[in-house]
């Protein structure tokens, strides 16, 4: 730690949709949130910080929160974004193509058009750092109207100035430690890893 309480080690910031998986039971919301044990057991760089993004957060609010968390950590070796991919069915000629348009987080998705909100993090990454999208279909190739998962991932990489790792298919996750929430609903810990299918690495077009 430095004299100002900021770690001098480049750690891992995991940003997640607090309302994941955006589902409800008869008694209230179902919440699956990631935990530090998954990071530790897979040898992610410490220290760890988990940042929940509340369902009502606007992009301005959640990008500010992410930048603030990164600043508080000092340097980042990994940035992870955890949430569902937004996949729409688009008509292309006589076919219907699944197209990934964003990452469901807060009140408005992370998208190719607002990914510039990540730019304040550019100065926060250590040498060799990368971002990972723990997001279903994040790098899916389906395209329509200039939108696709690959366009989204490239926009995020360009904004951050570091490589972004994402998967092309729907990722399965498991839930552990499910418990009832006293106020209603259920809470459990989501486990995302290991990656499934093919992962794609996106590099910024300008660092």
52-99 tens-digit pLDDT = 999 999 999 999 999 999 999 999 999 999 999 999 999 878 888 899
Name the burial class of residue 36, with classes exposed (0-12), middle (13-18) and buried (19+) by CB atoms within 10 angstroms of its CB. Answer: middle
Mean pLDDT, the chain, whole residue set: 93
> What's the pLDDT at 8?
63
- 3-class SS string, 10-42: CEEEEEEECCCCCEEECCEEEEEECCHHHHHHC
The first and second tokens of residue 56, run together, are 């009502």
Q: How far is CA 104 from CA 58, 62, 190, in A?
A: 12, 12, 16
Strand partners, 16: 52, 82
3-7, 27-31, 93-97: which is most confident: 27-31
pLDDT digits (tens, 9 = 90+) for 146-173: 999 999 999 999 999 999 999 999 888 8
Termini Cα distance of the chain: 28
Q: How far is CA 69 from CA 63, 66, 74, 170, in A?
A: 10, 5, 9, 28
What is the DSSP secondary structure assignment for residue 109, as one 8-state letter? -
DSSP E strand stretches across 47-139:
48-53, 76-83, 85-92, 95-103, 110-111, 125-135
The first and second tokens of residue 192, run together, are 């995302």
Given pLDDT bands bounded at 50, 70 and 90, which one contains residue 143? very high
Look up the pTM and report it: 0.92
Nearest to 88 by CA among 166, 149, 167, 172: 149
Structural contact between residues 118 and 159, judged by C-beta atoms closer than 8 angstroms: yes
> What's the pLDDT at 202?
98
Given pLDDT bands bounded at 50, 70 and 90, which one contains residue 5? very low
What is the DSSP secondary structure assignment for residue 93, as one 8-state letter? T
Distance CA(40)–CA(205), nearest Å, equals: 31
Structural contact between residues 70 and 124, judged by C-beta atoms closer than 8 angstroms: yes
Structural contact between residues 202 and 157, judged by C-beta atoms closer than 8 angstroms: yes
């Amino acid at each position: 730690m430095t004299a100002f309480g900021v770690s001098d080690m480049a750690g891992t910031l995991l940003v997640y949709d607090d309302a994941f998986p955006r589902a409800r039971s008869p008694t209230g919301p179902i919440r699956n949130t990631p935990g530090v044990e998954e990071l530790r057991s897979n040898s992610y760089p410490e220290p760890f910080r988990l940042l929940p993004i509340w369902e009502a957060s606007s992009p301005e609010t959640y990008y500010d929160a992410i930048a603030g968390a990164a600043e508080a950590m000092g340097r980042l070796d990994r940035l992870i974004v955890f949430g569902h991919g937004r996949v729409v069915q688009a008509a292309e000629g006589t076919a219907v193509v699944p197209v990934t348009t964003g990452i469901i987080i807060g009140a408005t998705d992370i998208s190719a058009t607002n990914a510039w909100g990540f730019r304040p993090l550019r100065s926060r990454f250590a040498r060799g750092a990368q971002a990972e999208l723990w997001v279903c279909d994040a790098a899916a190739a389906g395209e329509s109207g200039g939108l696709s998962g690959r366009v989204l991932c490239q926009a995020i990489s360009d904004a951050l100035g570091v490589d972004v790792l994402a998967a092309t298919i729907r990722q399965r996750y498991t839930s552990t430690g499910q418990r009832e929430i006293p106020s209603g609903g259920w809470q459990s810990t989501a486990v995302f890893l290991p990656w499934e299918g093919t992962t794609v690495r996106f590099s910024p077009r300008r660092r």
